Amino acid sequence: MPHVMISSKKCTGCHMCELACSAYHEGAYRPSVARLFSECNPTTGATKGHTCLQTGCAKCQQACPNDAILTREITVTVRGEFAGKEKVGDTVKGYVLIVDEAACTNCGECYDVCPTGVIHEHPDREVAFKCDLCDGQPQCISFCQNPHVLAVDLKVDKKDRDLAQV
């Protein structure tokens, strides 16, 4: 399934992805509510990306007692370049996990199981929030366009490719 990954080796720690993510979803810049993040140590320069692996992981969905994590069809078309473009192609169809805010009770089960730490309680609404691939045009990838960097990447799980064609 399509999902975003950040290459820790290539990531410069500019946080442009978090900025764009929050602007798209929150209607204003608020990276503390971004749906992905890069952890950076300024002294060593070490970076570590944290992104949602969507259906390839789905631990949040499995943990949810209220069936509030839904699987939705999505068509992803990235604006601009990304490292895996040749392999993945211009347009990827597949599934994405989204939060059904009407069903979510903010119980926190998913927060505890997420292996990358990218599903949280929204600070303004008592529901979970997570990456939804920006309705098919991931802003994080569009704002990582330095040709020498291209750290924020669109990936597709090989084992899931068949599912995408269902």
Partner 1 sequence: MDFYQGKVLRLDLSAGTATVEPLNMEWAEKYIGGKGLLLRYLWDEVPQGIDPWAPENPVILMTGPFAGTSVSTASRLVVGCKSPQTGILNDSYVGGSFAPEMKFAGYDAIIIVGESPEPVVVVIKDDVVEFVPAKPKYWGLTTSEIEAAMREDVDPNVKTLSIGPGGEKQILWACLSTDQYHKAGRGGHGALWGRKNLKAIAVRGTGTVTVGDAKAFLDDMYRIHSEYVLTEDNLWANEEGTPVLGQIMSDAGVIPTRNWSTGTFDQMEGINSDAFLKIRTKNRACYQCAIGCRQFHEVDGIAGEGPEYETIAICGANCGIGDIAALSRFNQECDELGLDTISSGAVVALAMDFTEQGIKDFGLRFGEVDSYVTAPRLIASGEGIGGDLALGARALAAKYGHPELAMEVKNMELPGYDPRGSFGMSLGYATSDRGGCHMRSYPIADEIVGGSLPPDTLEGKAMKIVWGNPAEGMIGENFSSIKFSGIWCDFWAITPDQIAQILKHAWKHEFTGDEVFQIGERVWNLGRLFNLREGVEPDDIPHKLYMEEGAHTTGASAGRAIGTETFKNALQEFYQIRGWDEHGVPSEAKLAEIGVDVRL
The distance of closest approach from Cβ of residue 24 to partner 1 in the complex, given in angstroms and rounded to an integer, is 6
125 binds partner 1 (CB under 8 A): no
Site for partner 1 in 43-82 (CB under 8 A): 43-45, 47, 79-80
**Is residue 122 a contact residue for partner 1 (CB under 8 A)?**
no
Strand partners, 39: 48
DSSP assignment of 55-101 = GGT-HHHHH-TT--EEEEEEEEE-SS--TTHHHH-SEEEEEEEEE-T
Token pair 């950076």: residue: 40
* Residue 71, burial from CB neighbour count under 10 angstroms (0-12, 13-18, 19+): middle
139 makes contact with partner 1 (CB under 8 A):
yes
Choosing from 7, 23, 63, 71, the residue that interacts with partner 1 (CB under 8 A) is 23
Stretch in the footprint of partner 1 (CB under 8 A) among 25-33, 65-73, 91-99, 107-115: 25-33
d(Cα 8, Cα 37) in Å, to the nearest integer?
A: 11
Rg (CA), the chain: 15
Q: Which is nearer to partner 1, 58 or 149 (CB)?
A: 149
Residues that bind partner 1 (CB under 8 A): 12-16, 19-20, 23-24, 26-33, 40, 42-45, 47, 79-80, 123, 139, 142-143, 145-149
